[in-house]
A and B are shown apart, each in its own frame.
Chain A
Amino acid sequence: MSETLALSRIPLDEYAELLGAGEIEELRALAKPLRGRSIEMINSTAVGGGVAEILNRLVPLGEELELNIKWDVMMGGEDFFEVTKSFHNALHGAPYHASPKDFEIFLAYNERNRATLPFDAEFVVIHDPQPAGLIQTRQPGANHWVWRCHIDLSRPNRAVWDFLEKFVSRYDGAMFSSPEFSRQLPIPQYLFYPAIDPLSEKNCALEPQFISQVLGRYQIDPQRAILTQISRFDRLKDPVGVIRAYRIVKRYFDCQLVLAGGSASDDPEGAVVLKEVLREADSDPDIKVLELPAWAPLEVNALQRASTVVVQKSLREGFGLTVSEALWKKKPVVASAVGGIPIQIIHKHTGLLAHSIEGTAYQIRFLLSHPEIAAKLGEQGHQHVKENFLITQKLKRYLTLFLTLAKNP
């Protein structure tokens, strides 16, 4: 790697205890023809964000399978990251007027990194738009280049996408988190789900005593139903809508609501939303609005595990991995049918989908009335995550992609 990073190493055999030895044997069998072959992952940040989190787990697992895998981080200045943040939001559909200067900054940093990064691997995986222009380095037929897009491109800003598409079309393939997020492109497009790590602090098994301690710390009563939404204080996550749904449920069930998200202290928009949430909560002692420290994975884990029903009432969503986190913990989930959520929540099979505040409240009431159905949905949700949204499945998808690309020189 171009930076010294402490990779998170968990041996594959530890996953075997959760998933079965056959699943790990399968990974080893798929990796066998790829042993010693080189793979270069490139993204734009070494820490923070979902991509870095996934690469931090994926690269050591690839090394254990004897792949010659490395992770390089492209370098950029403040001006570059300001531009790419604007691009990111614009690709998600936010209004944005790109100036020629923005495109020049993007190209200049890509050009600079072309001179410093190696690009000598057989398979080069570029993550997200920031390093997409590095494809210009590629010599025809020299190696395989694929682009992994973690963004919902269903409604992109036209100017930004037209600019990026010129680069994306030169890759051997592109990977998207949902068919809805993809574009009409002249290259093959593949479905690559995001993934959670079942052994990470956010998802590992916890001692009941620790869960009790966390509930005690926040004065949450374990004897009464707990509804929880874990997400940052963002209008698109509709925390106010969750409170309104809770109030409808409360007419029928004695329950508590936990809204837990990262601290809003360094996020001006988050602070405004937090105020709106507190106003809506109106000092209801059964509504717990928790500003967790920036990274409190064990607490999030405990709150999810203690929940009776987990809610994700987003108005717009990327993939929404908090849903998979809850399902992994066998929790019944009520969530909005937006973004990648319907991929995780197969309605009436792995959870319940809703389209409104009233619908969300109704589905929660249904689950509270039918704990046996709630338990079954939670169990099937867990199986769904096990089959599709774990880091080991993601690794398997990458191995399959590399084997497929290798067949097409």
Chain B
Amino acid sequence: MKAAEAPFEFVTVSYLTRIGNQSAGALAELLTGLEHCSDASIFHHTFQTLGSHHFLTEGFSNDFAQWALSDTNRNDLAEQLAALDIRDYVSIAALRSDLCRVVGDYCAAYPHFANQSALKRFYFCESVEVTAPLGRNAQTLDEFREGIEHLSHSGFYFHFISSRLRLQLQTNDFSHWLADGLGLKSLAESVNQIDIYTNTLDSTRAKLLRLIDRERRKA
């Protein structure tokens, strides 16, 4: 079995939510908040919330979309915000820009809704990230499978979802290592195609393990 020169190092992550001093009581205020909040806040309400709500596989995408739906009753705006797929972004700046464009366009098109009071305010929060090595490495596909099987939800999220920002590539840690470390480009691509919006972290993991098992059977 092929062994990679550089091992895959399994890491886990934990987030502390820092409550910001900004909040929004209407769509126009949400837009101002989006323009001025920190990168850590955009990350928190998009990337991180997907991890902490992974078990919702229908209609939950990010906190902004959920607020537009449940607290301002703007289904059309919610749909547009939910359609922003974090897999398309390798920088927070680009994601922020699109969030502002969607909300800004909506406020311009429907100015009477822009200042309408929401049922509940939106509070901008930030993620404070702490990572910890799990002390487990993989050099072969078997060891890699074993590591993934025992990874916590947070660890899986860190390697599969938030890694896109770290790598600045439209891929994830697992696919990156499979392609670069083991030369398994086709497997890497299949893994990267697993839909994180319609799968839970557990079902994503199960699909990934099935793909690995199929590859192992080929060997």
A interface list, Cβ under 8 A from B: 20-23, 25-26, 29-30, 32-33, 176, 179-180, 182, 184, 188-191, 337, 342, 346-350, 380, 383-384, 387-388, 396-397, 399-401, 403-404
- Supposing A346-B56, A404-B130 touch, asked if A23 and B153 sit within 8 A by C-beta, the answer is yes
Q: How far is the CB of A12 from chain B (nearest CB, A)?
A: 13
The answer to whether B150 and A337 have CB atoms under 8 Å apart is: no
Which single residue of chain B is at the shortest CB-CB distance from A19?
B152
Q: In the complex, A180→B121 CA distance in Å?
A: 8
- Min Cβ gap A1→B in Å is 27
* Contact residues on B (Cβ < 8 Å of other chain), bracket: 35 or more
Min Cβ gap A182→B in Å is 5
Which residue of B has the minimal Cβ distance to A32? Answer: B132
With known contacts A346-B56, A346-B60, A401–B16 Cβ distance under 8 A: yes
- Can you pick out 22 interface pairs between chain A and chain B where the beta carbons lie within 8 Å of each other? A25-B134, A26-B14, A26-B134, A29-B132, A29-B133, A30-B130, A179-B23, A180-B120, A184-B21, A190-B16, A191-B17, A191-B125, A346-B53, A380-B55, A380-B56, A383-B55, A384-B53, A396-B14, A397-B14, A400-B16, A400-B130, A404-B128
B residues at A contact (CB < 8 Å): 12, 14-19, 21, 23, 52-56, 59-60, 66, 70, 119-121, 123, 125, 128, 130, 132-135, 150-155, 200
Provide the bound-state CA to CA distance between A73 and B128, in Å. Answer: 30
In contact, A387 and B52 (Cβ under 8 angstroms): yes
> How far is it, in angstroms, between the C-alpha of A23 and the C-alpha of B123 when the chains are bound?
29
- Docked Cα-Cα span, A152 to B17, in Å, equals 18
User: Contacts A29-B135, A190-B19, A346-B60 hold; do A388 and B52 have CB atoms under 8 A apart?
Assistant: yes
Min CB–CB distance A347 → chain B (angstroms): 5
Nearest to A26 among chain B residues (CB) is B152
Q: Tell me the total A-B contact number using a CB cutoff of 8 A.
A: 94
**B135-A22 in contact (CB<8A):** no
With A29-B134, A346-B60 known, 7 other A-B pairs at CB within 8 A are: A26-B14, A337-B119, A346-B70, A384-B55, A397-B16, A400-B128, A404-B16
Nearest-CB residue, chain A, relative to B135: A29
Cα distance, A190 to B128, chains bound together (Å): 10
Whether B19 lies near A182 (C-beta < 8 A) is yes
Closest residue on chain B to residue A33 by CB atoms = B132
Residue of A nearest to B151 (CB): A22
